[in-house]
Amino acid sequence: MTSPPTLVLDLDGTLVDTAGDLTATLNDVLIGEGLPPVPFDAARGMVGHGARAMLSDALGAAGVNTEPDRLDSLVAVFLDIYAGRIAETSRPFPGALEALDRFVAEGWRLAVCTNKFERHSRLLLTAIGIADRFPVIAGQDTYGVRKPDPRHLLETIRDAGGDVARAVMVGDSNVDIETARAAHVPVIAVDFGYSRTPVTDLGPDRVISHFDDLYQAATALLPGAARV
């Protein structure tokens, strides 16, 4: 029996606009260290690779070379603060919920594959009321590997009951595109996310500017997945 098609989405900058809450958390940590806050536009470009990378980028931009043990402590502080404001301003991008409904109605399975920790991913998706749409929410700690390691995506597809040959990845960054390429999964990039490089320059199979265009883009990549 043929497996249903699977749509795997990145979280930050793809499905949900989380930059506001992440930036506020980052600046709380920096201020606690006696450092100036990072302007929103600069901080937005640091989102998408996990809390440790975000902190490391911000500290490096401030000229601070932090020892690994101290960075570990700051990451723990960051995660604790972030859990308390997980969805103060974070919301799905326009059209996202309607697009997800369309895929479910057409028999697709949905999953999330993110470099956020699984706990925070579930907290966020629960807070905005959409966690139950995803049978699998796989964070950087779910399988012991993280994007761009293709095993993160492959295990997500497997746990969703999908087939890698009938799956599509959606993301907003070079990490998502590299992950999909390594897993031999077609990839759609959104151009409204947090990539510092225009996603059109990163070589995805499709680029969309609104979730209204996602179903057509996905079924074009998996023609047999579209219902007549």
Active site residue 10: yes
- State the pLDDT at residue 79: 95
179 Cβ contact list (under 8 Å, min separation 6)? 113, 147, 148, 149, 150, 152, 153, 169, 171
Report pLDDT for 51.
86
Q: What are the residue boundaries of the structural domains of the chain, listed by start?
A: 6-17+90-225, 19-84
Rounded Cα–Cα distance for residues 134 and 112 (Å): 7
Per-residue confidence (pLDDT) for residue 228, from 0 to 100? 39
The active-site residue out of 10, 17, 21, 57 is 10
Are 14 and 171 in contact by the 8 Å Cβ rule? The answer is yes
C-alpha 195 chain-centroid distance: 11
Residue with tokens 């492959």: 154
Rg of the chain taking only CA atoms, in angstroms: 17
The model's pTM is 0.94
| Nearest Cα to Cα of residue 182 among 147, 220, 207 | 147
Closest to 137 measured CA to CA, from 120, 172, 119, 113: 113
Token pair belonging to 186: 């077609």
Which 3 state secondary structure label does DSSP give 172? coil
What pairing do the DSSP bridges indicate for beta strands 91-92 and 16-17?
A: antiparallel
Identify the burial level of 122 via C-beta atoms within 10 angstroms of its C-beta, where 0-12 means exposed, 13-18 middle and 19 or more buried.
middle
Query: Mean pLDDT in runs of 10 for the chain (228 residues)?
Result: 90 97 96 94 83 91 88 95 97 98 97 95 97 97 97 98 97 97 98 94 98 97 72
Model pLDDT, residue 1: 59
Architecture in CATH for domain 19-84: Orthogonal Bundle (1.10)
**pLDDT for 170:** 98
Q: What CATH number has the domain spanning 6-17+90-225?
A: 3.40.50.1000
CB proximity list for 204: less than 8 A, separation 6 or greater: 177, 180, 187, 188, 189
Q: Could you give the CA distance from residue 225 to residue 203 in angstroms, rounded to a whole number? A: 23
Query: 3-class SS at 188?
Result: strand
